[in-house]
């Protein structure tokens, strides 16, 4: 029969215990349904599939609105299926209608914390404090709990970049964008992903002799190759403020040099910094001025 399986039947006799008190320790989903409701019958097996996949991270329950009209009315149920998520005895989110599986996954990720979340928070704090090695070790622990957690994967990339391990960072980013992962859990923080991809590209020139490169880049007439080498080394060190004017000089000197590499590298730095950065706004204006003069 539809809507049977791992979902727990709830009603007046056990709602307080299973839903209200139970949601103090882990989220509880209540599927308000009725036997005559075709969309309810379509939604139920998908919910149960996901409940099995989440392996105890939330409790799935079902409430027959025909048998429990008072409880349905108490929670404002006017159309079914209606699913409400309870945390700490209160409704924190919900939806009405039979959502497709991907939308259901998005909903669950909003209300069901990842098992890796506490470790990810600890790792992020270590990274912010300058302990990149400790952060990486903790991110790896978190990854063992949830190999597909986007925040953990991206945090791990940041730790790897801080340690200068650009090839491994690039491989981790490939995991983030792996179609086998994104089919079920699409990338949400696309802006952060773009910034990290840019930092991986920019970090590839690390370890160069900056003094020698600076001297070569300062020679006249302008040597675009020397300026590019210097700009790349500066960008690898995260010194975008000094890299951008070198790249702008390449654009002003020779747009054709290395297939307009000066402009393209500037755009990569813009991605790494993010669109709201003052440095980005300034050099977007200057780049436009050089290109349009």
Confidence (pLDDT) at 206: 63
**Domain finish residue from 153, 188, 223:** 188
Which residue carries 């690039």 as its tokens? 170
Give the model confidence (pLDDT) of 69-89 as tens digits: 999 999 999 999 999 999 999
Question: 224 catalytic, yes or no?
Answer: no
Count of C-beta atoms within a 10 Å radius of residue 147: 12
Question: Which entry of 7, 30, 40, 119 is annotated as an active-site residue?
Answer: 40
Give the model confidence (pLDDT) of 130-189 as tens digits: 999 999 999 999 999 888 888 899 999 999 999 989 899 999 999 888 888 777 677 888
Report yes or no on 200 lying in a domain: no
Mark 9-18 as b/e (b = at least 16 C-beta within 10 Å): ebeeeebeeb
DSSP label at residue 20? I
Domain enclosing residue 158, as ranges: 117-188
Confidence (pLDDT) at 207: 63
Residues 19 and 99 in one domain: yes
Confidence (pLDDT) at 3: 39
**Domain finish residue from 89, 111, 133:** 111
Sites in the chain below the pLDDT cut of 50: 1-4
Question: 37 catalytic, yes or no?
Answer: yes
At 31 the three-state DSSP class reads strand
The total of structural domains in the chain comes to: 3
The angle subtended at Cα 175 by Cα 172 and Cα 180, nearest 5°, is 175
Confidence (pLDDT) at 253: 95
In Å, what is the CA distance from 283 to each residue of 193, 240, 290? 22, 11, 10
Residues 72 and 136 in one domain: no
Report yes or no on 132 lying in a domain: yes
In Å, what is the CA distance from 95 to each residue of 29, 77, 91, 265, 276? 11, 11, 11, 44, 34
Question: Which entry of 29, 37, 132, 157 is annotated as an active-site residue?
Answer: 37
Picking from 274, 275, 253, the residue whose alpha carbon sits closest to that of residue 263 is 253
Confidence (pLDDT) at 61: 97
Confidence (pLDDT) at 9: 95
The whole-model pTM stands at: 0.67
Q: Cα 240 to the chain's mean position, in Å?
A: 24
Confidence (pLDDT) at 205: 66
- Sign for the CA dihedral angle at 157, 160, 166, 172 comes to negative
């Amino acid at each position: 029969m539809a809507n049977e399986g791992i979902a727990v039947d709830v009603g007046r006799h056990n709602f307080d215990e299973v839903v209200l008190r139970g949601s103090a320790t882990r989220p509880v989903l209540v599927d308000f349904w009725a036997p005559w409701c075709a969309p309810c019958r379509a939604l139920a097996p998908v919910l149960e599939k996901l409940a099995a996949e989440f392996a105890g991270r939330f409790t799935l329950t079902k409430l027959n609105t025909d048998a429990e009209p008072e409880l349905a009315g108490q929670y404002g149920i006017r159309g079914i299926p209606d699913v409400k998520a309870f945390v700490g005895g209160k409704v924190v989110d919900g939806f009405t209608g039979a959502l497709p599986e991907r939308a259901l996954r998005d909903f669950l990720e909003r209300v069901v914390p990842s098992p890796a979340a506490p470790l990810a928070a600890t790792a992020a704090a270590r990274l912010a404090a300058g302990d990149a090695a400790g952060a990486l070790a903790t991110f790896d622990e978190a990854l063992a709990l949830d190999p597909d957690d986007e925040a953990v994967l991206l945090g791990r990339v940041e730790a790897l970049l801080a340690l200068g391990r650009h090839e491994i960072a690039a491989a981790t980013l490939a995991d983030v964008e792996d179609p086998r992962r994104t089919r079920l859990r699409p990338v949400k923080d696309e802006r952060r992903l773009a910034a990290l991809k840019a930092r991986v590209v920019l970090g590839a020139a690390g370890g160069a002799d900056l003094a020698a490169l600076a001297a070569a880049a300062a020679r006249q007439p302008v040597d675009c190759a020397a300026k590019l080498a210097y700009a790349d080394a500066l960008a690898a060190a995260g010194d975008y403020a000094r890299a951008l004017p070198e790249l702008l000089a390449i654009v002003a000197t020779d747009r054709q040099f290395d297939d307009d590499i000066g402009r393209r590298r500037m755009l990569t730095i813009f991605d790494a910094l993010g669109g709201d950065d003052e440095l980005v706004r300034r050099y977007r204006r200057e780049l436009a001025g050089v290109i349009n003069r």
